[in-house]
Amino acid sequence: MIKDDLKKILISEEQIRQRCFELGRQLDHDYADNHNGLLFVGILKGSVPFMAELIKRVTLDIEIDFMAVSSYSGTETLGDIKIIKDLEHSIQGRDLVLVEDIVDTGITIKALKTLLYNKGAHDVKVVSLLDKPSRRQVDVKADYIGFEVENEFVVGFGLDYNQKYRNLPYVGVLKEELY
Ligand code: IMP
Ligand code: MG
């Protein structure tokens, strides 16, 4: 079983559920007067479980969409990302909530925010299940954070190691001998 590959469970199912309730209430509050067509944008694939849990706790009128990106490897330019799957919705003049699994170096969300503003978004906020501030390389931060984690590699609840472990219902740390 994949759970046997974990050294420890860091964040339990119940903690994640509870935190999504709190984030949902906060988003409800902060976007109560929003009239710019609130769109939650999940970044595939890591955000899928978090997106599903979070949007159930938001009572506002929202739409959801997904995009997939990858960073250009082999270039020294920080922040160049390639769109693998683009949004279906037009985002012109809309308010977006980017839903991410983790903010690590920050390169992905910084590049994505720039890209979405360039495509005409009115406002882009970021909600991330996890934040690993000790690894940041660019000056960016999520507006809403589920949990802060130490500088260790985490898997589960959407987060993968070589595409594996995304289906674990909690967040844990892999045994060292596995990577
Ligand atoms: P960035 O470094 O902030 O651009 O993060 C890019 C991506 O790296 C995240 O969306 C995750 O998919 C992945 N990532 C970063 N840290 C971890 C981790 O500890 N476990 C699994 N994936 C991670
Ligand atoms: Mg990711």
The conformation of residue 22, written as its DSSP 8-state character, comes to H
Calculate the CA dihedral of residues 101, 105, 109, 110 and round it to 10 degrees.
170
104 given a catalytic annotation: yes
Here the tokens at position 139 are 């000056």
Residue type, 128: S
Q: What does residue 118 show for φ and ψ, rounded to 5 degrees?
A: -65, -30
Write the pLDDT tens digit of every residue in 49-63: 999 999 999 999 999
Task: Assign 151 to helix, strand or coil.
Answer: coil
Weakest mean pLDDT among 36-45, 66-75, 128-137: 66-75
Q: What are the φ and ψ backbone dihedral angles of 178, each rounded to 5 degrees? A: -90, -5
**pLDDT (tens digit, 9 = 90+) per residue, 109-148?**
999 999 999 999 999 999 999 999 999 999 999 999 999 9
- Residue 179: per-residue pLDDT: 81
Task: Find the catalytic residue in 4, 28, 65, 104.
Answer: 104
pTM of the model: 0.95
Contact (Cβ atoms closer than 8 angstroms) between residue 66 and residue 42 = yes
Which residue has its alpha carbon closest to ligand 1 atom 9?
102
For ligand 1, mutation pick of 101, 160, 178 (most atoms within 8 Å of CB): 101
